[in-house]
């Protein structure tokens, strides 16, 4: 049975295979379609179209805007929640945490429908389409912000905060110069988990805006569906990927900087 | 050793993907693959077909039933190599697929259940869409009609007057809450109806006064409702832009509940959804009505087709005959709520059972649908479920199919549609 012994590295192989089959290969297809015409010849026509037709670029900015606002609100609501949760010591903590995670156990289309009913009840639905879209997005992505924040906050060594207190800092000062900087990695992973999906998850915008707000994900669907132009659809998808890549690079840089600060501390 | 391990784990992880590949050969039954729209057949019929086929031919079949969300999905699946034995696309998609060589011409028995019972109206509609050098191909070459219907307006009788519903253009200055379709072709269609309003009404008038024949009138309708000239697309874009702003929302399936709940007063609907909404509202004591505006409207139909890659043409033919039988037709109509393309006296009796009234004050002649003979239905109410399912001849005369747009036209219309979506 000696031959069946695996080294630790070999354990990655199943994921490697998965990655190649379902991530790398489809990605290569997207790249292929983006740079070819309908007849299969190499062309940059589709990219020129994207940047000159006005519609796509405008929609990209709209979507980034919606993504940014959603992320901002998720952070503003999620941070205090994660902070308070991490400070609670009693047995209530696990129950409270459960309350925040529980919505994630329910299918999100169902949650969206329920939220739509509530918005109808209070009279917002059908009137303020952008507002409703943002409400829907925040409602849906909030747990994705809270969880990474919580898991970072709970790991911060209390002695840092105690030391700051002993040295005479008031609680605001302690938060701003100790807790907040130490939780940067949580903030960053929260942002990546909320910002990018909220630009493309068009089921939410369709449901909450009554089909009146279109985000970039919907645009891709239109070109792949009734538009029957996979090449142009792929261009939009590829440009989204580039944005994702740039965002990751930026956040990576940020987290490296905070890492060095942590080490300095 | 290490390399061996690596190879082994690659093999093992590839083995994990094995369930993705369908395994056949567990039994001696022939696999028969169907691809249909979601919720578009009484699924008990599929089991019954297995029994029926075995009894008739002695061959065992195993039905593999798959559904698709949109026609474009079906098109893509087949284009990329999915194999089915029978599929159920709509009018324009049948034409697109047939033109691209993706379908086999049908070879149904001229005296079989389908050909004996299909409505003459459906038959001539299928035959009316032709192509090829000598127009040798038509939808009838490739498709056996399944379900059909119209596009129209459902409205709340207490709030909206029926006079207002006589014209598509009244939506543009309506003071009521209404929805439009979040679907490119349907919404483009009413954009055309608004843009060509005067021309369409003039054509109708000429026909009614006897100046032009019915064929000429329908040819005109068809030309207006299939126009894809750049100027027209631009004009329609402006029209739809203001319609979107005025509308309460764009939907593809929440509308039928919104009209029942009273969130909206006018609902731009496919006739089957209209029937559903009217039924539901009735339970709450609300009267909804259905109207096909004067300018004319869209007639759509879905049909069974056999993909070029099918190796089970005989079974597919039997299946089409099977679902065209009166029992299957009635059960599917009950289950789906749409109207079958099949006529015949048993279906006529079914219509009478559902809508007939012995001393009803209205008489509707459904001869156009059921063929020669006395097919008059006496009924108490018009403009409701019955009219949505079986429109009068007068209404049906102003409904035409929307054909498929070629690549260039489709791209222009999609561009226009994305502009509206994004604004």
B248 & B311 share domain = no
Lowest mean pLDDT among A216-225, A233-242, B14-23: B14-23
Contact A82, A150 (CB under 8 A): yes
- Give kind and range of the element (H or E) at residue B179: strand B178-181
Q: Are strands B61-68 and B30-37 parallel, antiparallel or unpaired?
A: parallel
Question: A197 in a domain, yes or no?
Answer: yes
B169 & B180 share domain = yes
B247 & B153 share domain = yes
Question: B130 in a domain, yes or no?
Answer: yes
CB–CB of B13 and A218 under 8 A? no
B181 & B252 share domain = yes
pLDDT classification of B20: cutoffs 50, 70, 90: low
Give Cα separations from A253 to A8, A180, A243 (angstroms).
29, 18, 15
Question: A33 in a domain, yes or no?
Answer: no
CA distance B303 to B86: 10
Task: Pick B10's closest partner by Cβ from A13, A53, A55.
Answer: A13
**Residue A18 phi/psi, 5° resolution?**
-55, -45
Chain A positions touching B5 (Cβ under 8 A) are 3-7, 10
Chain centroid to Cα B302, Å, comes to 5
CB–CB of B415 and A214 under 8 A? no
pLDDT classification of B313: cutoffs 50, 70, 90: very high
Contact B271, B289 (CB under 8 A): no
Task: Pick A6's closest partner by Cβ from B5, B70, B422.
Answer: B5
CB–CB of B184 and A222 under 8 A? yes
Average pLDDT of chain A? 88
Q: Can you give the pLDDT at residue B415?
A: 94
* Rg (alpha carbons) of chain A, rounded to whole number: 23
B381 vs A: CB within 8 A: no
Give Cα separations from B226 to A156, B218, B298, B300 (angstroms).
66, 12, 10, 13
B347 & B334 share domain = no
Task: Provide the number of CB pairs (under 8 Å) joining chain A to chain B.
Answer: 99
Domain that holds residue B79: 24-142+301-340
pLDDT classification of B9: cutoffs 50, 70, 90: low
- Considering only CA atoms, which of B372, B369, B339 is closest in space to residue B120? B369
Question: A154 in a domain, yes or no?
Answer: yes
B325 & B196 share domain = no
Residues 6+ apart with CB under 8 A from B2: A7
SS3 A214: coil
Domain count for chain A: 1
For an interface test with B, give the residue of A211, A218, A224, A232 to mutate (most B CBs within 10 A).
Answer: A211
B202 vs A: CB within 8 A: no
Burial B225-240 (b: 16+ CB within 10 A, else e): bbbbeeebbebbbebb
Domain that holds residue A167: 55-227+239-264
Domain count for chain B: 3
Question: B15 in a domain, yes or no?
Answer: no
Closest approach of B241 to chain A, Cα-based (Å): 11
B241 & B153 share domain = yes
Please write the tens of the pLDDT for every residue from B223-246: 999 999 999 999 999 999 999 999
Residues 116-135 of A with CB under 8 A from B: 120, 126
pLDDT at A251 over 80: no
CA distance A172 to A159: 17
For an interface test with B, give the residue of A10, A12, A225 to mutate (most B CBs within 10 A).
Answer: A225
pLDDT at B1 over 60: no
Question: B75 in a domain, yes or no?
Answer: yes
B281 & B404 share domain = yes
What CATH number does residue A96 fall under? 1.10.3720.10
Q: Can you give the pLDDT at residue A249?
A: 85
Task: Pick B422's closest partner by Cβ from A18, A21, A59.
Answer: A59
Q: Can you give the pLDDT at residue B25?
A: 47
Question: B19 in a domain, yes or no?
Answer: no
Q: Can you give the pLDDT at residue B330?
A: 95
B158 & B245 share domain = yes
- Considering only CA atoms, which of B278, B288, B272, B251 is closest in space to residue B336? B272
Please write the tens of the pLDDT for every residue from B110-148: 999 999 999 999 999 999 999 989 999 999 999 999 999
B374 vs A: CB within 8 A: no
A38 vs B: CB within 8 A: yes
Please write the tens of the pLDDT for every residue from B365-403: 999 999 888 888 888 888 999 999 999 999 999 999 999
pLDDT at A186 over 80: yes
Question: A35 in a domain, yes or no?
Answer: no
* Rg (alpha carbons) of chain B, rounded to whole number: 23
Burial B255-266 (b: 16+ CB within 10 A, else e): bbebbbeebbbb
DSSP character for B224? H
* Residue whose entry in the numeric block shows the structure tokens 């003979």: B373
Question: B404 in a domain, yes or no?
Answer: yes
Predicted TM-score (pTM) of the model is 0.87
pLDDT at A163 over 70: yes
B154 & B276 share domain = yes
Closest approach of A218 to chain B, Cα-based (Å): 9
Please write the tens of the pLDDT for every residue from B178-231: 999 999 999 999 999 999 999 999 999 999 999 999 999 999 999 999 999 999
Question: A177 in a domain, yes or no?
Answer: yes
A253 vs B: CB within 8 A: no
């Amino acid at each position: 049975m000696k031959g069946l012994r695996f080294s630790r590295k070999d354990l990655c192989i199943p994921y490697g295979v998965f990655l190649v089959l379902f991530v790398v290969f489809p990605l290569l297809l997207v790249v292929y379609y983006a740079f070819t015409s309908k007849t299969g010849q190499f062309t940059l026509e589709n990219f020129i179209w994207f940047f000159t037709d006005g519609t796509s670029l405008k929609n990209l900015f709209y979507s980034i805007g919606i993504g940014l606002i959603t992320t901002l609100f998720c952070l503003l609501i999620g941070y205090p929640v994660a902070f308070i949760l991490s400070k609670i010591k009693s047995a209530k903590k696990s129950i409270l945490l459960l309350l925040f995670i529980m919505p994630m156990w329910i299918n999100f289309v169902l949650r969206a429908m329920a939220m739509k009913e509530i918005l109808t009840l209070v009279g917002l639905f059908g009137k303020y389409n952008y507002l409703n879209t943002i409400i829907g997005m925040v409602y849906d992505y909030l747990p994705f912000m809270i969880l990474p924040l919580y898991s970072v906050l709970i790991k911060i060594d209390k002695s840092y905060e105690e030391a700051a207190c002993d040295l005479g800092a008031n609680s605001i000062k302690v938060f701003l110069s100790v807790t907040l900087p130490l939780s940067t990695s949580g903030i960053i992973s929260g942002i990546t988990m909320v910002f990018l999906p909220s630009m493309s998850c068009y089921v939410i915008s369709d449901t909450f805006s009554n089909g009146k707000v279109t985000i970039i994900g919907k645009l891709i669907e239109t070109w792949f569906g009734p538009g029957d132009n996979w090449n142009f659809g792929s261009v939009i998808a590829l440009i989204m990927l580039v944005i994702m890549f740039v965002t990751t690079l930026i956040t990576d840089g940020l987290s490296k900087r905070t890492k060095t600060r942590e080490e300095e501390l | 050793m290490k390399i061996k391990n690596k190879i082994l784990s690659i093999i093992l992880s590839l083995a994990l993907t094995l369930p993705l590949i369908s395994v056949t050969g567990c039994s001696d039954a022939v696999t028969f693959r169907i691809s249909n729209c979601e919720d578009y057949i009484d699924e008990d019929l599929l089991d019954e077909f297995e029994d029926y086929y075995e009894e008739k031919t002695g061959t065992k079949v195993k039905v593999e039933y798959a559904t698709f969300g949109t026609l474009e999905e079906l098109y893509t699946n087949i284009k990329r190599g999915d194999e089915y034995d029978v599929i159920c696309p709509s009018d324009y998609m049948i034409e697109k697929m047939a033109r691209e060589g993706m379908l086999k011409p049908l070879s149904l028995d001229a005296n079989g259940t389908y050909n004996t019972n299909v409505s003459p109206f459906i038959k001539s509609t299928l035959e009316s869409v032709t192509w090829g050098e000598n127009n040798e191909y038509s939808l009838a070459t490739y498709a056996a009609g399944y379900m059909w219907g119209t596009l129209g307006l459902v409205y709340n009788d207490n709030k909206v007057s029926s006079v207002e519903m006589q014209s598509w253009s009244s939506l543009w200055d309506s003071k009521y809450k209404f929805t439009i379709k979040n679907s490119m072709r349907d919404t483009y269609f009413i954009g055309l109806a608004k843009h060509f309003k005067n021309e369409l009404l003039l054509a109708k008038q000429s026909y009614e006064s006897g100046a032009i024949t019915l064929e000429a009138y329908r040819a005109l309708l068809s030309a207006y409702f299939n126009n894809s000239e750049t100027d027209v697309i631009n004009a329609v874009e402006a029209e739809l832009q203001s319609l979107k702003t005025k509308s309460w929302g764009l939907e593809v399936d929440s509308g039928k509940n919104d009209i029942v709940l009273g969130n909206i007063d006018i609902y731009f609907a496919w006739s089957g959804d209209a029937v559903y909404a009217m039924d539901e509202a009735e339970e709450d004591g609300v009267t909804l009505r259905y109207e096909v505006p004067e300018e004319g409207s869209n007639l759509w139909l879905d049909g069974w087709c056999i993909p070029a890659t099918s190796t089970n043409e005989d079974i597919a033919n039997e299946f089409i005959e099977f679902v065209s039988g009166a029992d299957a037709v009635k059960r599917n109509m009950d289950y789906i709520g749409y109207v079958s393309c099949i006529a015949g006296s048993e279906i006529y009796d079914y219509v009478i059972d559902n809508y007939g009234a012995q001393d009803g004050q209205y008489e509707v002649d459904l001869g156009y649908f059921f063929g020669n003979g006395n097919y008059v239905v006496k009924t108490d109410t018009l403009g409701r479920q019955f009219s949505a399912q079986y429109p009068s001849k007068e209404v049906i005369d102003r409904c035409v199919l929307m054909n498929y747009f070629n690549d260039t036209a489709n791209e222009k219309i999609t561009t226009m549609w994305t502009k509206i979506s994004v604004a």
